[in-house]
Structure 1
Amino acid sequence: MQGRTLTAIEHQVLPVGTGDAALSPADAERLASVARQRPGFCTPGHRSIRLSQFVGLVSLGNGRVLEILPKVGEQVEPTRARGTLLRLLRWAYDLPSFAGVEVTHGLQQRTLLDVFVLAYLRALVPLVRAGLVRRYRSIEDDLGVVRGRLLLQRQVATHAMRIDRIACRFDDLDIDNSWNQVLKAALVATRPWARGLESGRLWLEMAAAFDEVRLRDDGLALHRNLPLDRQVSHYTPALQWAGWILQLLSPDVRSGSSSAPELLFDMNRVFELAVATRLRRRANSLGLHLHSQHSGRHLAHDQEDPHRRFFSLRPDLVLSHGETVVAVADTKWIRLGKDRRGYLVPVDAHAYQLHAYAAAYPCDEAVLIYPWHEDLDGARISGYRLPGGGDRRPVLHVVCADVEDEALPLYLAGESASFSRLA
């Protein structure tokens, strides 16, 4: 049975009712169940469901999948939005199928699930060509010659004095192990979605390669409990894809688990991870160090007891040179605008937040990073001097990351000695 994909955009309001463009009441209940396990995913309204900043895929049952794409500019084209998400996921999670490969127009034209299925099949190819991992497994069998240990009690009780059948226990290398069972469970789950010539061909090739591996109906649970083993470290990319595929399509989820089948990404987190990865690579080449989700500092302490601290801080990014903090930054996945004079103006609450960071992390630069969109063309340079202590007067810079570009370049509104080198 071929699946059907419904496409929506983050923050969109979806009608609930009849018609091809509307969700059914059962679909609305399915989304509500997702919201119970992912608070904030959506908000029910009067015959409607309002989505939030989560993007990705939700299984609606009966071969139907809801695809939610990110929104950057005012006008959203599904193909461009799909490309933006794939580009950010590649940076954020170092997805092997896209590493070093541009998100081409052909990939953008596919639905997200089609792309994920193809990526998974491509990740299996090098494993199969190199030979699937084998593990020794203890086997008892009746053979024509002695192999391993002779099972004397079974030999006497079953075969008496027959010399042509010998009961033995021996160890044999076998591909039917937990790692390959997880991969096969995900492979079987993708069958209805392996569409197109390349996906169909790869699926048949991979299915033949895993023919001797048992099909487990608890693939998702098995994936979550896989032991760490350095000898299967090359399986990591494929197992990552397998986990995502099983999370959305695994039979044990569809057949009554309390978890709603979904594969969702918080765009705030994806944008943060993508920017951090991009900046970290550049910072390392310059001898700088980038810390993600830095913790341990507070905004205030008790006036009588300095060891009692209050209002813990956790900036997204802290750039340092040795022990010296150079800059502190936060990423914000929202649509930035310009004022009437054409200056980029950050949200008030974001500016207050960075002011607090700059006070606790003595540095000269505080940076807000937003996604760039075409409506910001021609924006005027803007930098904001923050109040400081002593001789320190940090500057708040506004930086935009171009999520439409494969290199994820940074555009700076204002002169920044540190971030200009990272751009």
Structure 2
Amino acid sequence: MEFRTLTVLEHEVVPVGSGASTLSPIEAERLASMTQQRPGFCVFGHRSVRFSQFVGLVNLGGGRVLEVLPKVGEDADPALARGTLLRLLRWAYDLPIFAAGSVDHGLQQRELLDVFVLAYLKALARLVRIGLVHRYRIDEEDLRVIRGRLLLQRQATTHAMRVDRIASRFDELTADNPWNQVLKAALIAARPWARGVESGRLWLEMAAAFDEVPTRRDGLSLHGRLTKDRQVDHYAAALRWAGWILRLLSPDVRKGTNSAPELLFDMNRLFEAAVATRLRHRAGSKGLQLHLQHTGRHLADLLGDAERKYFRLRPDLVLSAGPEVLAVADTKWSRVDVDRRGRLAPPDAHAYQLHAYAAVYPCNEAVLIYPWHEGLADAQETAYQLPPAGSRRPVLHVICADVADDDLSFHFVADGSSFARLR
């Protein structure tokens, strides 16, 4: 079977037709069925499909995969968009998918599924070098020489007249356990997509390393039933990749359904997780704390009953030094505008949201974080004075995270601000 990839960008409109760069009517029908489990993934128009902020991979069936990539600014280069997604995944999920910690040009040029399969094979190779987890399993077998314990009843009834067979029960150390079974299932599912010399060679090596592990067709459901175990903590990265690959390619997902299996990421959440992970690393080195999705505060009390709280607030990030709140921030995966004077001009709704945070949280700084792109090269550092909140005069800062930078650097950070300590 020939495997093909249709690459589109976030928010792009793709026609439904018969060409190689279009979606077939059957594929569009599968996407429509999939959106019941993934609301908001795409919107259907007249013989067209418009994609939203979800990016990643969709298995369209028939050897065809839909690759949806993020769009930053006006850049429509799939290779650069692929690099952006890989960087964000690296930060958000702490995945060691790059040998040197960076996304090189060659990696960006490869289709996303090829990169994922190669990353999974490399994760398996690391486990094999360390040593796969083995567990003792109780086996019963008829042997020529006794091993372990003699099964007296079976020996007396089944082998009473045979001296060349000894019914034995013994403990055997084996790699046949649920964790390795999941990894083997993902390995088998990835076989058709292990394209290229490096992926093909690694697949053969890993298949030999997992030879004693039986193949299971319920790998995805088994993955969901795995329990925590300290002895398999080092399996975390490989098991995450295995779960993703099984979700997209596992036979038990595709069988008997018109829906398209998918491996999609909400860019709003992915950008938030990547920025949070990066800032948390920096905050820890400075003795600060970064709290994610902070809850516990409300915008208002019921008039006459201060114990009844309404309008729960949930900022993406709260930066603190011990009990002192330094700043409250929200990440926004959207394009920030620039006014005629080169100032960053966030949408009104975003500013209103941060004003609400700054009115309730006892801090002097509120921060909006957007992705940086080349269209902001001539923009200037921008901050807005918010209305007083008691004795405080909070300031709204607008900063940008450079998603084209492997270090996820930040632009427009004011000197002296709390976030300047995290640069």
> Shorter-chain TM-score category?
over 0.9
Paired residue secondary structure (1:291): strand
Kindly provide the amino acid, as one letter, of the partner of residue 98 in structure 1: F
Kindly provide the amino acid, as one letter, of the partner of residue 199 in structure 2: S
Kindly provide the amino acid, as one letter, of the partner of residue 115 in structure 1: V
Kindly provide the amino acid, as one letter, of the partner of residue 18 in structure 1: S
**1:349-382, CA deviations, whole angstroms, 9 ceiling, x for partnerless residues?**
0000000000110110000000000011111232
* Alpha-carbon shift at residue 337 of structure 1 (Å): 1.6
* Alpha-carbon shift at residue 152 of structure 1 (Å): 1.7
- 2:128 equivalent to 1:128: yes
Q: Separation in 1 of the partners of 2:197 and 2:272? A: 35
2:193 maps to 193
Q: Separation in 2 of the partners of 1:276 and 1:100? A: 22
- 2:12 equivalent to 1:5: no
* Alpha-carbon shift at residue 414 of structure 1 (Å): 4.6
Paired residue secondary structure (1:379): coil
Q: Superposed, which structure 2 residues align to 1:73-84 within 5 Å? A: 73-84=73-84
User: Is the 2:31–2:259 contact (alpha carbons within 8 Å) kept by the matching residues of 1?
Assistant: no
Give the superposed CA RMSD: 1.3
2:279 maps to 279
Paired residue secondary structure (2:117): helix
Kindly provide the amino acid, as one letter, of the partner of residue 45 in structure 2: G
- Could you list the runs of 5+ residues in structure 1 that have no partner in the other structure? none
Q: Separation in 2 of the partners of 1:153 and 1:421? A: 74
| Inter-CA distance 258–216: structure 2 relative to 1 (3 Å threshold) | farther
User: Is the 1:383–1:415 contact (alpha carbons within 8 Å) kept by the matching residues of 2?
Assistant: no
2:212 maps to 212
2:26 maps to 26
Q: Superposed, which structure 2 residues align to 1:323-362 within 5 Å? A: 323-362=323-362
User: Is the 2:55–2:70 contact (alpha carbons within 8 Å) kept by the matching residues of 1?
Assistant: yes
1:52 maps to 52
- Could you list the runs of 5+ residues in structure 2 that have no partner in the other structure? none
1:14 maps to 14
Paired residue secondary structure (1:308): strand
* Alpha-carbon shift at residue 390 of structure 1 (Å): 3.0
Q: Separation in 2 of the partners of 1:274 and 1:144? A: 59
* Structure 1, 96-105 or 199-208: larger mean CA deviation: 96-105
* Structure 1, 241-250 or 378-387: larger mean CA deviation: 378-387
Q: Superposed, which structure 2 residues align to 1:226-305 within 5 Å? A: 226-256=226-256, 260-305=260-305
User: Is the 1:326–1:363 contact (alpha carbons within 8 Å) kept by the matching residues of 2?
Assistant: yes
* Alpha-carbon shift at residue 282 of structure 1 (Å): 1.0
Q: Separation in 2 of the partners of 1:52 and 1:174? A: 47
Q: Separation in 1 of the partners of 2:99 and 2:33? A: 34
User: Is the 1:397–1:416 contact (alpha carbons within 8 Å) kept by the matching residues of 2?
Assistant: no
Q: Superposed, which structure 2 residues align to 1:162-177 within 5 Å? A: 162-177=162-177
Paired residue secondary structure (2:116): helix
Task: Give me the identity figure in percent.
Answer: 70
User: Is the 2:101–2:406 contact (alpha carbons within 8 Å) kept by the matching residues of 1?
Assistant: no
1:364 maps to 364
* Alpha-carbon shift at residue 258 of structure 1 (Å): 7.4
Paired residue secondary structure (1:190): helix
Q: Separation in 1 of the partners of 2:31 and 2:158? A: 59
User: Is the 1:13–1:51 contact (alpha carbons within 8 Å) kept by the matching residues of 2?
Assistant: yes
User: Is the 2:383–2:398 contact (alpha carbons within 8 Å) kept by the matching residues of 1?
Assistant: yes
User: Is the 1:53–1:266 contact (alpha carbons within 8 Å) kept by the matching residues of 2?
Assistant: yes
User: Is the 1:30–1:60 contact (alpha carbons within 8 Å) kept by the matching residues of 2?
Assistant: yes
2:409 maps to 409
